[in-house]
Amino acid sequence: MLRRFAPLARRLGLTAARCPVCGTVMADRTRPLCARCAVELPLRTGGYCPSCGEMYGREADPPTRCAECRLTPPPWDGLYLHGRYAGLLRDLILGFKFGNSYGRARLLADLGALAYGSGRGLPPDLVVPVPLHTRRLLWRGFNQSLEIARGVAGRLSVPLSTEALTRTRNTPPQTRLGVKERQANIKGAIAARPDLVRGRRVLLVDDVYTTGSTLRECARTLRRAGCEGVEVLVLARTQREPD
């Protein structure tokens, strides 16, 4: 009986609002997260390089391009991120990617859209996810970057393209490789459709930035296909171990 009235109760706002992370009932329906989880998922607003996302110093420091990106700028115009790949954010991404927590897609898209909206005025012309090869997609069952990009595109009211970029070669997982191996592994494995991206400003979306090898190959491929501009949005950025 209660199930029959559940949709009506939701429309009338009679159901309890729960935190999508921990399930705690929230008194304030306007907040996306409970107070405890919101503290654990802060948006990084400073103390990082706006080109590669490398974090340094204090979070209160303004975003400043690192020495490496000044010498060798990445093939995109800007990078947006939500936070460090650690703690609750890391748990959410891993659970979504490998733990069958598909219900977290909406929350992760919210975090991505928040990160992009905090530092940008005009939306892109097109949102494009980092692609998976067909074999990899069949093995995993879904492309986590696509699901995040789909949500971000909807929140920005921007078209999403699943065909602008494709994987032309089934490469070994990047997580098993070093920096130079990753670069060689992904080189030439991405193709773009000029008819979909030429003259357009593209927002390239992925879940985690590690070495940036895949993102760089995607961005270069988009540039060669005639993109007017490329920006990158990631949920989290891993940090290099100190020397």
Structure confidence by residue, pLDDT tens digits, 80-103: 999 999 999 999 999 988 877 777
Of 176, 215, 208, 204, nearest in space to 91 by CA: 208
Position 137 in a domain: yes
Q: Do residue 30 and residue 46 come from a single domain?
A: no
Position 184 in a domain: yes
Position 8 in a domain: yes
Sign (positive/negative) of CA torsion 89, 186, 75, 146?
Answer: negative
Contacts for 37 with CB less than 8 Å, ≥ 6 apart? 19, 21, 22, 24, 88
Q: Do residue 31 and residue 46 come from a single domain?
A: no
pLDDT at 120 over 70: no
Q: pLDDT grade, residue 230 (50/70/90)?
A: very high
Question: Using an 8 Å Cβ cutoff, are 225 and 79 in contact?
Answer: no
- How many Å apart are CA 75 and CA 229, to the nearest integer? 10
Question: Using an 8 Å Cβ cutoff, are 206 and 178 in contact?
Answer: no
- How many Å apart are CA 28 and CA 35, to the nearest integer? 10
Position 230 in a domain: yes
Q: How many domains does the chain have?
A: 2
Q: Do residue 104 and residue 155 come from a single domain?
A: yes
Q: Do residue 84 and residue 103 come from a single domain?
A: yes
Question: Using an 8 Å Cβ cutoff, are 198 and 17 in contact?
Answer: no
CATH of the domain at 163: 3.40.50
Q: Please tell me which residue, 174 or 138, carries the higher pLDDT value.
A: 138
- Residues above pLDDT 90, as percent of the chain: 55
Q: Do residue 36 and residue 153 come from a single domain?
A: no
Q: Do residue 16 and residue 94 come from a single domain?
A: no
- Phi and psi for 192 in degrees, rounded to 5? -125, 155
Copy the structure tokens of residue 159: 């078209």
Q: Do residue 173 and residue 122 come from a single domain?
A: yes
Q: Which domain holds residue 7?
A: 1-40
pLDDT at 173 over 60: no
Query: Each residue of 35-73: pLDDT tens digit?
Result: 888 899 999 999 999 999 999 878 889 999 999 999 999
Q: Do residue 187 and residue 83 come from a single domain?
A: yes
Average pLDDT, the chain: 84
Structural element, H or E, at residue 186: helix 179-186
Query: Token match 């997609």: residue?
Result: 137
Query: Each residue of 125-164: pLDDT tens digit?
Result: 999 999 987 676 666 677 889 999 999 999 999 999 999 9
- How many Å apart are CA 168 and CA 17, to the nearest integer? 44
Q: Do residue 25 and residue 98 come from a single domain?
A: no
Q: Do residue 7 and residue 25 come from a single domain?
A: yes
Q: Do residue 92 and residue 10 come from a single domain?
A: no
Q: Do residue 130 and residue 205 come from a single domain?
A: yes
Q: pLDDT grade, residue 1 (50/70/90)?
A: very low
